[in-house]
C-alpha cells in the first residue's frame, strides 16, 4: 500500500508539472468570463483525467491478471518514457527559440482558449486532461500501481482519487483562487502568465530533463533491485 501510494503520488506530480496546462489555465481565468470559463475548464480537465484513469485502470487490471511480468513491463515503460523526455529536453536545450510568427500546437491551443465560451472551453480542457503522450502514459503507470495484486477495491479508488487531485493541482488551485478572490487576483495571474511566457523554453527543458531523469532512475531501480 505504501509503495503503491508513493508511486501514484510521484506519477501525479510528474503529470501535473506542465507549463502548457498552467499557461492555459491563466489564459482561461483572465478571459472576459473568468469564473464561468474557469469552472468549465476545471470541470473538463477533471472529466478528461478521470476518463484517462478509467482506461488506465482497465489496462492495469488486465496486465495484473494476464501478465506474469507486470512489474517488469511497468519498469520498461517508465524507462522508455524517461529516455524520451530526456531526449526532448536535450533537443530543446540546443534548439533556438521559434520565431513568434510560426505557430505550434501549444500556441494554437492558447490562442483559441482566450476567445472560447464555456462549452468549447470544457471540451478543450477535456482533451488536455486526457493528455498527450506524456500525461497519458503517466496516468497509465499510476493506474497500474493502483491495481497491483493484493490491494482492495477501496484502496484502489483512494489511490485513483489521490492521482486525480495531485495531477490537476495546476488547474484547481488557480481556478479556486479566482472563484474566491475574483478580479483581485488578476494582477497576480497577469504577472504569473508573463513570467511563464518569458521562461517557457527554459521550463520545457528543465521539466523534461528533471522528470525524465527521475523516471529513468526509478525504472533502473525497479529492474535491478
Predicted TM-score of the model (pTM): 0.86
Q: Which residue has the higher pLDDT, 79 or 110?
A: 79
- 96: region left, alpha or beta (phi > 0 left; psi from -120 to 50 alpha): beta
State CA 114 to chain mean position distance.
21
- Kindly report, residue by residue over 142-195, the tens digit of the pLDDT: 988 887 755 566 667 888 999 999 999 999 999 999 999 877 878 888 888 888
Q: Is the per-residue pLDDT at 225 higher than 70?
A: no
What pLDDT score was predicted for residue 101?
40
Q: Which residue has the higher pLDDT, 225 or 33?
A: 33
Q: Which residue has the higher pLDDT, 221 or 110?
A: 221
Q: Is the per-residue pLDDT at 120 higher than 80?
A: yes
Contacts of 211 (CB under 8 A, 6+ apart): 14, 17, 82, 85
Give the C-alpha separation, 181 to 78, whole Å: 40
Q: Is the per-residue pLDDT at 131 higher than 90?
A: no
Give the C-alpha separation, 157 to 163, whole Å: 10
- Kindly report, residue by residue over 8-17, the tens digit of the pLDDT: 999 999 999 9
Q: Is the per-residue pLDDT at 41 higher than 60?
A: yes
90 neighbors 209 (Cβ within 8 angstroms): yes
Q: What is the rounded average pLDDT of the residues 122-151?
A: 85
Read off the pLDDT band of 221 (50, 70, 90): confident
Specify the DSSP class assigned to residue 114: T
Most confident of 106-115, 148-157, 192-201: 192-201
Amino acid at each position: 500500500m505504501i509503495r503503491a501510494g508513493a508511486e501514484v503520488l510521484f506519477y501525479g506530480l510528474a503529470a501535473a508539472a506542465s507549463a502548457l496546462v498552467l499557461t492555459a489555465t491563466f489564459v482561461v481565468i483572465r478571459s472576459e468570463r473568468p469564473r464561468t470559463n474557469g469552472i468549465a475548464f476545471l470541470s473538463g480537465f477533471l472529466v478528461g483525467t478521470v476518463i484517462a484513469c478509467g482506461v488506465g485502470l482497465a489496462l492495469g487490471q488486465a496486465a495484473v491478471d494476464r501478465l506474469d511480468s507486470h512489474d517488469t513491463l511497468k519498469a520498461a515503460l517508465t524507462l522508455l518514457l524517461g529516455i524520451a523526455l530526456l531526449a526532448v529536453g536535450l533537443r530543446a536545450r540546443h534548439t533556438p527559440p521559434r520565431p513568434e510568427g510560426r505557430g505550434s500546437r501549444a500556441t494554437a491551443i492558447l490562442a483559441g482558449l482566450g476567445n472560447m465560451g464555456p462549452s468549447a472551453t470544457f471540451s478543450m480542457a477535456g482533451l488536455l486532461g486526457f493528455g498527450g503522450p506524456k500525461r497519458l502514459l503517466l496516468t497509465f503507470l499510476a493506474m497500474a500501481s493502483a491495481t497491483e495484486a493484493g490491494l482492495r477495491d477501496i484502496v484502489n479508488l483512494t489511490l485513483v482519487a489521490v492521482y486525480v487531485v495531485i495531477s490537476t493541482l495546476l488547474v484547481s488551485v488557480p481556478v479556486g483562487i479566482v472563484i474566491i478572490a475574483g478580479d483581485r487576483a488578476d494582477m497576480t495571474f497577469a504577472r504569473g502568465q508573463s513570467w511563464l511566457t518569458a521562461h517557457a523554453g527554459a521550463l520545457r527543458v528543465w521539466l523534461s530533463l528533471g522528470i525524465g531523469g527521475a523516471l529513468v532512475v526509478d525504472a533502473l531501480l525497479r529492474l535491478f533491485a
